[in-house]
Amino acid sequence: MLKQIIKLTALSAAALIITSCAASDVPSRVITPDENTSVTDASDFVSLAEAVPDVILEIRYYSTYNFVGDRIDGYEEPCALMTKEAAALKNASDDAVEKGYRLKIYDAYRPQTAVQNFVEWAEDTDDTRMKEYFYPELDKSVLFDQGYIAEKSGHSRGSTVDLTLFDMDTEKEVDMGGTFDYFGELSHPDYTGELTAEQIQNRNILRDIMLENGFKPLDTEWWHFTLADEPYPDTYFDFPVRNESVEAN
């Protein structure tokens, strides 16, 4: 139902603009609601703890251990939410378990409210509390220009996840040669630099598991994957990260 509502609303908006253009010769770009507003309907979302019970959750933006240094706006519980379609992550989880790992989730759906929190933080160039941990090689003033901070995030579309592998034998995260949310070339999936053979192999294991189960990578973050056939490619959601948001689904 949510998909039908979004589609019909966008079509209605387009029809109104086209009619307006016909009345004048001034060119106009069709603006859909998805481009300027955030959708608060969580009816197509589920909790990963329910849909993918083998995952481990370490929701960094609910904690203060993140590049901002504070709990992020919109994260009201340390849970992970995704669209029902992206909950096909269970197949990737099953593959990881067969290989002796579990998937550890750092972030999944991210409200637009949280993205705005990032933007406001980035604009405050005096706040560098977490620089030594997450962006020691960069001046905070370049984070917008280099694409580390943006006004929109694929996470807000509900089908993107940040994750790593947890080794069930050692009971530790595997060594990826770099931490989650590190701003720099070290985080690029194809970076080799001073990485060990084991670290490179670990990145490839995670990448292969996700690719084989319908998720596509990002070329600047080894931990970031999006469902290739995501259901809401142009819609940005803004309901809080808490179990109550999806309990009725």
Give the mean pLDDT of the chain: 88
Res 12 pLDDT > 70: no
Res 20 pLDDT > 50: no
Residue 3 has a pLDDT of 56
Res 24 pLDDT > 80: no
Listed range (27-36, 71-80, 99-108, 145-154) with the worst mean pLDDT = 27-36
- What class has domain 40-245? alpha beta
Q: DSSP strand E in 199-240: where?
A: 215-218, 221-227
Whole-model pTM above 0.75?
yes
Residue 66 has a pLDDT of 98
SS3 state at 101: strand
Tokens of 61: 């933006």
pLDDT digits (tens, 9 = 90+) for 202-249: 999 999 999 999 999 999 999 999 999 999 999 999 999 999 999 978
pLDDT digits (tens, 9 = 90+) for 37-91: 569 999 999 999 999 999 999 999 999 999 999 999 999 999 999 999 999 999 9
Q: Mind telling me the catalytic residues?
A: 221
Domain boundaries, the chain: 1-37, 40-245
Helix ranges, the chain (H): 2-23, 33-36, 48-51, 89-98, 112-123, 131-134, 197-211
Res 27 pLDDT > 70: no
